[in-house]
Chain A
Amino acid sequence: MGIRTLIVMLVASLLVIAVLATLPAYSLFLPQLLEGAVLTAEITLLGALLAVVMGVLAALGKLYGPPPVRWLANIYIEIFRGTSALVQLFWLFFVLPQFGVSLEAFTVAVLALGLNIGAYGAECARGAITSVARGQWEAATALNMTRGQMLRRIILPQAFIAMIPPWGNLFIELLKSTALVSLITLSDLAFKAQQMNQTTMKTIPIFTLVLLIYLAMSLVITIGMRFLEGRASRGLARGRTV
């Protein structure tokens, strides 16, 4: 979809939320839901940060690490991609305390979702790093750079641009998977929705608002990533033509 369509959809969804907020049947639920949405946004942001760090580290480890690091990266990627996010969340929440490590629910949420998305991200990052043209490595070698310098100054900056679109999709997956944290007692958007649904049984207004809020949040991510992609590749194009 074009960026213009996305912006129209975002404005439309915000307008619908605003219009619904004027109806008494809906306005009753909005403050609580927005409170939950703030927690959802916090977990998404922190989880995304962790995911990017883990994804890039795991990709670098898998590509250039010595054998033990490579195995570690592979095991991390396979385990977190091969099991469900919910299983990982429950494992960290219920099983880890039995080994003497008790984490707060919020920490568990950020950790589990960040590590989960990071494992998927590692594969995108790996693809992006290997897609950087061979000539770039050769030129960096010719300039007598060390391996660390090559990665830091030449390869990664170019790889990051190629990583932006797949990471955009992953951030949306992350936003959606934050709904799972409602199952480990965190009062995020999904939790608030379920709680109010159980007390009032007004399913349609509550869930309509919730779906619209999630839609608006994921549109913000998509539009933001498109914008970032445009900015980043504009610099690249300029560099190439000069």
Chain B
Amino acid sequence: MWDWSFALEILPVLAHAAIISIEATLIGFVLAATLGLVLALARIAFPWTAWPISVLVELIRSTPLLIQIFFLYFVFPSFGVSLDAFTAGVLALGIHYAAYCSEVYRSGFDNIHRGQWEACTALNLSSWTTFRDIIIPQAIPPIVPALGNYLVALFKETPLLSAIAVLELMQTAKIIGSETFRYTEPITLVGVFFLAMSLVSASLIRAVERMLNRRPAR
């Protein structure tokens, strides 16, 4: 049923593929966090964008990521830009999670007391300085745990990239399975890897949360 020597034999191959998964996660999350912040800031800076952005966010959040991955992968060539599978996949992950992150940022900004904005106006700070020095330093720390949860969620979505043949963990496991007709070890190992990673990151997020809560209120 379970062959330890086979499991050990495929472990290095899977470990190599895990690096691709982690790479996709990190690049995708940087994209999501940045794009999400831009979306959230645009809603505040230009009120007329609030409605289109909320429709866009709703549209992205209520359609499957898999479809979005396919869409980006297949639609770019028809505009003459050909993206390789990894770039298209990471782009889709980033855009999908940017929609979620923008809502997180928005909740962070909404929690800033009105008086802070008014004080900035009274001090004649430019809107750029207001954001950089007053609003963002107060808005970001409380939402770090929520962003962390999305980082873990994004990581768990990376197996979807196997659908466009990115050689990440799941795709590698499937290839091993189809070459050797042994699916038990590769797919179970992938599952164990994800379980271990998400348990570790969940406890990391809890630690960060505790650290942020311990900090005295300013």
Contact B198 A81 (CB under 8 A): yes
Contact A94 B1 (CB under 8 A): no
Cβ of B66 and Cβ of A95 under 8 Å apart? no
Bound-state CA distance A98–B58 (Å) is 41
Q: Among residues 188 to 210 in chain B, which have CB atoms less than 8 Å away from a CB atom of chain A?
A: 188, 190-191, 194-195, 198-199
Contact with A along B171-193 (1 / 0, CB 8 A): 00110010000111001101100
Measured CB to CB, the closest approach of chain B to A126, in angstroms, equals 16
Task: Check A87–B159 contact: CB distance below 8 A.
Answer: yes
- Asked if B146 is at the interface of the complex by the 8 Å CB criterion, the answer is no
Residue contact A179 to B67, C-beta cutoff 8 Å: yes
**Contact of A204 with B160 at beta-carbon distance under 8 Å, contacts A95-B187, A211-B67 already known:** no
A-chain residues with CB within 8 Å of residue B199 when the two chains form the complex = 78, 82
Which of A87, A190, A211, A219 touches B194 (beta carbons < 8 Å)? Answer: A87
CB distance from A188 to the nearest CB of B (A): 10
B18: interface (CB < 8 Å): no
The CB with the most chain B CB atoms within 10 A, among A79, A179, A183, is that of: A179
Main secondary structure of the interface of B (DSSP, over half): helix
With both chains docked as a complex, state the minimum distance between the C-beta of A192 and any C-beta of chain B, in angstroms: 11
Q: From residue B73, how far is it (CB to closest CB) to chain A in Å?
A: 9
Smallest CB separation, B111 vs chain A (Å)? 20
Which residue of B54, B75, B190 is within 8 Å of A207 (Cβ)?
A: B75
A172 near B62 with CB under 8 A, answer yes
The residues of B that contact A90 with a CB separation of less than 8 Å are 170, 173-174, 183, 187
B78 at the interface (CB under 8 A from A): yes
Known: A1-B54, A88-B191. A211 touches B59 (CB 8 A): yes
A2-56 interface with B by 8 A CB criterion: 9
B64 partner residues in chain A, CB cutoff 8 A:
175-179, 190, 214
Report Cα–Cα, A84/B182, bound state, in Å: 20
- Indicate which residue in A85, A87, A214 contacts B190 across the interface (CB closer than 8 Å): A87
CB contact between B66 and one of A190, A197, A203 (< 8 Å): that residue: A190
Distance between A92 CB and nearest chain B CB, rounded to angstroms: 10
B75 contacts which chain A residues (CB < 8 A)? 203-204, 207
Query: A180-222 CB contact bits vs B (8 Å, 1 = yes)?
Result: 1011000000100110010001011001001100110011001
| C-alpha gap A95/B182 in the complex (Å) | 8
Tier of interface size on chain B: 35 or more
Question: Knowing A84-B157, A176-B64, A182-B66 touch, does A207 contact B74 (C-beta < 8 A)?
Answer: yes
User: A95 with B183: in contact, given A83-B198, A180-B160 (CB under 8 Å)?
Assistant: yes
**A203 and B62 alpha carbons, distance in the complex (Å):** 20
Instruction: Give the contacts of A54-101 with B (CB-CB under 8 A).
Output: 78-79, 81-88, 90-91, 94-95, 98-99
Point out the residues of chain B lying under 8 angstroms from A91, CB to CB: 187-188, 191
- Interchain CA distance A1-B182 in the complex, whole Å: 48
List chain B residues, Cβ under 8 A from A180: 66, 160
A86 to B166 Cα, complex, angstroms: 15
A83-B156, A203-B71, A203-B78 known; A219 and B62 CB under 8 Å?
yes
- Does residue B55 face the partner (Cβ distance < 8 Å to A)? yes
CB distance from B104 to the nearest CB of A (A): 14
The reply to whether A9 and B55 contact each other, CB–CB distance below 8 Å, is: yes
Is B117's CB within 8 Å of the partner chain A?
no
Q: CA–CA, A9 to B61, complex, Å?
A: 14
**Given A78-B199, A98-B1, A180-B66, also A215-B191 (CB < 8 A):** no
Contacts of B188 in A (CB 8 A): 91, 95
Tell me if B131 counts as interface (CB < 8 A to partner A).
no
Contact A197 B74 (CB under 8 A): yes
Q: Please tell me if the beta carbons of A95 and B70 are within 8 angstroms of each other in the complex.
A: no
- Assess whether B17 is interfacial by the CB under 8 Å rule: no
How far in angstroms is the closest Cβ of chain A from B86?
17
Is A79 in contact with B195, judged by CB distance below 8 angstroms? yes
Closest to A89 in B: B159
B 115-150 to A, binary, CB cutoff 8 A, 1 in contact else 0 = 000000000000000000000000000000000000
Q: List 10 A-B contacts (CB under 8 A).
A: A78-B199, A84-B158, A87-B190, A90-B174, A91-B187, A91-B188, A94-B183, A177-B64, A201-B78, A207-B71
